[in-house]
Amino acid sequence: MERPVRKVVFPAAGLGTRFLPATKVLPKEMLVLVDRPIIQYGVEEAVQSGIDNVIFVTSRGKGIMEDHFDVAYELESVLERRGKTTLLEDLRSSRVNVASVRQAEPLGLGHAVAVAQPLVGDEPFAVVLPDDVIDATPPALRQMIDVFERVRGPVIAVERVPMEDVSSYGVVAIDHSELGPGVHRIVDLVEKPPRDKAPSNLAIIGRYILTPDIFPALQETASDRTGEIQLTNGMRRLLESRPLYACEIKGVRHDAGNKIGFLKATAYFALKRPEFADAFRRYLDALDKPVGTTTG
């Protein structure tokens, strides 16, 4: 019987070149969507899913992420004295046990997961890619953990995408067996296939529930032509020895790892906030007016 999922790995060692110059000294994961860093959305999702042991896979200059989730005694004391209870609750809502490990070289997502092995140990664990910000009820990870507890095997989050976009994703082939709504047994995984060779339009998105046997599978996985170890290829090797499952996430996903996705996510989460929604919507509506018209 598989043990419960208690830990989550956040690969966060990238250089964030898509957001330069903003990310010259500030990690991309700390860019703010409304009033929370991108990575906090994923951490809060993990906490709401019952996981409070967080492992960051980082690189040089990313210690600010750990600091952000540390206890700020002086700040909390000031907020408490001033009666700022809502702000205080916000600060405490993402309090977790944080550990980190360095990925010395950018050798791919599979390599990033592999370097977390000493902190993960011999138990199942989640992986969250911070760029994928998912608004879902129940949280995306909770949906996947529920499936994991039923099928007792690795679970990969997927989303149906237009066929013209499949070459940007890892894609799964499924056997169409009935495992419940949106849950499929995987028969193959292909990393960024050409449109005419894609086995489906079920694209892998940034959530995984993995078992510790992924680590030897990754050790046996060769680097691709870019010199990186792809997690998709490691899972394909794991598929040779055990079943893997796909879970279609019910929710709204934004890829905040590119500028247009980040802007869309900012607007989406701003419009979900009652204190901003009306004024922000009026502003957006006013942008359709001719240039020179007041929008304030």
Q: Read off the pLDDT of residues 192-249 as tens digits, 9 standing for 90 and up.
A: 899 989 999 999 999 999 999 999 999 999 888 888 899 999 999 999 999 999 999 9
The DSSP annotation for 189-238 comes to EEES--GGG-S-SEEEEEEEEE-TTHHHHHHTPPP-TTS---HHHHHHHH
- Whether 292 has a pLDDT exceeding 70, the answer reads no
Amino acid at 70: D
Of 261, 258, 209, nearest to 238 by C-alpha is: 209
- Whether 181 has a pLDDT exceeding 80, the answer reads yes
- Residue matched to tokens 């951490």: 43
Q: What is the mean pLDDT of residues 112-133?
A: 96
Other CB atoms within 10 Å distance of the CB of residue 184: 23
Query: What percentage of the chain carries pLDDT values higher than 70?
Result: 96
What is the pLDDT at residue 105? Answer: 84
What is the pLDDT at residue 68? Answer: 87
pLDDT, tens only, 68-79? 888 878 888 888
The DSSP annotation for 36-69 comes to EEHHHHHHHHHHHTT--EEEEEE-TT-HHHHHHT
- Whether 295 has a pLDDT exceeding 50, the answer reads no
Amino acid at 136: A
Confirm if 230 and 110 have CB atoms less than 8 A apart. yes
Q: What is the mean pLDDT of residues 260-278?
A: 95
What is the pLDDT at residue 120? Answer: 96
Select the CATH number that applies to the domain covering 7-257 from these four: 3.30.465.10, 3.90.550.10, 3.40.640.10, 3.40.50.2000: 3.90.550.10
Confirm if 195 and 243 have CB atoms less than 8 A apart. no
- Residue 6: both structure tokens together: 């208690």
User: Cα–Cα distance between 165 and 161 in angstroms, integer?
Assistant: 7
- Residue matched to tokens 């906490």: 47
- Tell me phi and psi for residue 210, to 5 degrees: -120, 160
User: Cα–Cα distance between 198 and 189 in angstroms, integer?
Assistant: 10
Return the higher-pLDDT residue of 271 and 70. 271
Other CB atoms within 10 Å distance of the CB of residue 11: 26
What is the pLDDT at residue 34? Answer: 93
pLDDT, tens only, 58-105? 988 888 888 888 887 888 888 888 888 888 887 776 678 899 999 988
Confirm if 214 and 125 have CB atoms less than 8 A apart. no
What is the pLDDT at residue 291? Answer: 56
Q: How far is CA 25 from the centre of its chain?
A: 22
- Whether 288 has a pLDDT exceeding 60, the answer reads yes
Confirm if 232 and 189 have CB atoms less than 8 A apart. yes
Q: What is the mean pLDDT of residues 158-178?
A: 90
Q: What is the mean pLDDT of residues 256-267?
A: 95
Degrees to nearest 5, angle at CA 207 with 202 and 212: 110
Q: What is the mean pLDDT of residues 257-268?
A: 95
Q: In the chain, what are the domain boundaries?
A: 7-257, 259-296
